[in-house]
Chain A
């Protein structure tokens, strides 16, 4: 692995509550992910996967320890600087799609570009390109209610990649989809990873979904229990 480091967790803690009720969602996580990696995060419910994802995506900050994003100590940045990091480098895909319900597919995809100050015409072009990449040509003007779950998740992926981010953060992206749709989405993510060099960190509960990734990190009780590269697994 010669690619530069994208993110590093250095003894990261994330705790909630006070005194007796204090919960450590993350308890001293050490983790490093390089550019263009495709990492699957697995682990039992409540093991801290989503908490870690929020920190990776610069939505949240650690209680203790250091989280660096592209060499920047992102845990110490204020919320507007983190918003800028997200806007420039991170795309999000959620389990529940999280599209704006009353906007069309194209409008949803254009949204991050509005916050980047991209001009209307260029926005439209980029949105069409992104929708084409996820195989949704002809559905630009449908609202989420008029699209299937798989199609909605494709719109969400188009929205995540329309800014050409460095990192795609996906928390259970196939959690709401049937097997056939799940594999379509995973093929899509694999292609994006391979062809664009997009780094992907993805949480999943399903082993066959995790198999698409090049590396599997297992969480247990707020720390990393195992970290396996696919090549080693095969050997």
Chain B
């Protein structure tokens, strides 16, 4: 009976191809918009997640300055006491649950090789930095402990720096000038690409902290301390331990606010992903409104269809159709119609999302759940908006209906 009705409704849809297509358009556009939005949105979320995990997972970053709320960047106020090597030493001596602890100071500095020059992010740090940031070398070696201690003029460079100066060539052993000092390249860093904010993470030069402090910064300050948690220790557990140790070495009594801020990159990652998820949801909801418009289109065409087929309804009722048979017939027709629109819309939406993800260089992330939801939702729209016209058809008086021209 139901199969019979589906066949019947497919036939009547086929009979009015143009009209059916125009009816479908609303649903097609609505579903395509929703699918495209949600797919692009989840691609963006994935991209943001990947970017943040490039910063290093399970990472705490300490910087001088007052904390500005949970997870947010610490406000840098001038009078603040910078971090110092004894803070790092205290952490190394007392902190348990950390895989790597590394100080770092950064500055944008002009780097020169031969006649070429480039402004790069130069970081002074130690050999634990690569471990803390989950960063690997493509070739060469990290600084040795003695180089770190002595502040020898050696450096590691990122892919962008290499390309600028050496093209595809091997940079190892070459001497570059950083500010007014020269340093020998001893290794090449693995490329990381751009962050979601458009920052080139490969335009970097790493050098021993003491070399940086002496020859570039001209002070003994430390901008950040990177602390990577080990596999067993969540960052939320590590954070209060770090705070205790630093309060102790920096002599800050528990009744005062600390003069340093600890950022939890995991929390930032969560906040960012939840922001993009919210955005995606909102865009999806806006697109959903167009689905509603599509539903009204379905209702309109079903009303026309019922009126046009009044006589047919009369015949069916006269030869023994129950009210519910007529109701089901038109409901199935509306549902089949909007399902069809939904399926076409999904195909179009996925294609759009595919194109967009190529253009935006984000991952193409179609979600089976979203597709199923769209199928279900378009069927539901057909049923809801088809119901009133179908009921109207089913309630017709057979005698009046038969007399209808």
Q: How far is the CA of A90 from the CA of B321 in the complex (A)?
A: 12
- Does A141 reach chain B (CB closer than 8 Å)? no
- Does B312 reach chain A (CB closer than 8 Å)? yes
CB within 8 Å for A112 and B320 given contacts A60-B399, A94-B402, A100-B312:
yes
Query: Which chain A residues have a beta carbon within 8 Å of chain B's beta carbons?
Result: 54, 57, 59-60, 79-80, 83-84, 86-88, 90-92, 94, 98-100, 102, 111-112, 114-117, 120, 159-160, 163
CB neighbours (8 Å) of B319 from chain A are: 86-87, 91-92, 111-112, 115, 159-160
Query: By the criterion CB–CB under 8 Å, are A116 and B320 in contact?
Result: yes
Interface residues of B in 128-174 (CB under 8 A from A): none
Query: By the criterion CB–CB under 8 Å, are A83 and B312 in contact?
Result: no
Q: How close is B59's CB to chain A, nearest CB, in angstroms?
A: 67
Query: By the criterion CB–CB under 8 Å, are B15 and A79 in contact?
Result: no
Indicate which residue in A57, A79, A117, A163 contacts B1 across the interface (CB closer than 8 Å).
A117
**A interface footprint on B72-116 (CB within 8 Å = 1, 0 otherwise):** 000000000000000000000000000000000000000000000
Interface residues of B in 1-17 (CB under 8 A from A): 1, 4, 11, 15
Q: How far is the CA of A199 from the CA of B402 in the complex (A)?
A: 23
Query: By the criterion CB–CB under 8 Å, are A115 and B15 in contact?
Result: no
Instruction: Select from chain B the residue with minimum beta-carbon distance to A114.
Output: B4
13 contacts between A and B (CB under 8 A): A83-B321, A86-B318, A87-B321, A88-B320, A92-B318, A92-B319, A94-B402, A98-B314, A98-B315, A98-B402, A100-B312, A111-B319, A115-B316
Q: How far is the CA of A163 from the CA of B402 in the complex (A)?
A: 21
Indicate which residue in B11, B315, B323 contacts A80 across the interface (CB closer than 8 Å).
B323
- Does B177 reach chain A (CB closer than 8 Å)? no
Query: By the criterion CB–CB under 8 Å, are A115 and B321 in contact?
Result: yes
CB neighbours (8 Å) of A92 from chain B are: 318-319
Instruction: Select from chain A the residue with minimum beta-carbon distance to B5.
Output: A114
Query: By the criterion CB–CB under 8 Å, are A83 and B4 in contact?
Result: no
CB neighbours (8 Å) of A98 from chain B are: 311, 314-315, 318, 402
Q: How close is B107's CB to chain A, nearest CB, in angstroms?
A: 80
CB within 8 Å for A115 and B322 given contacts A98-B402, A102-B15:
yes
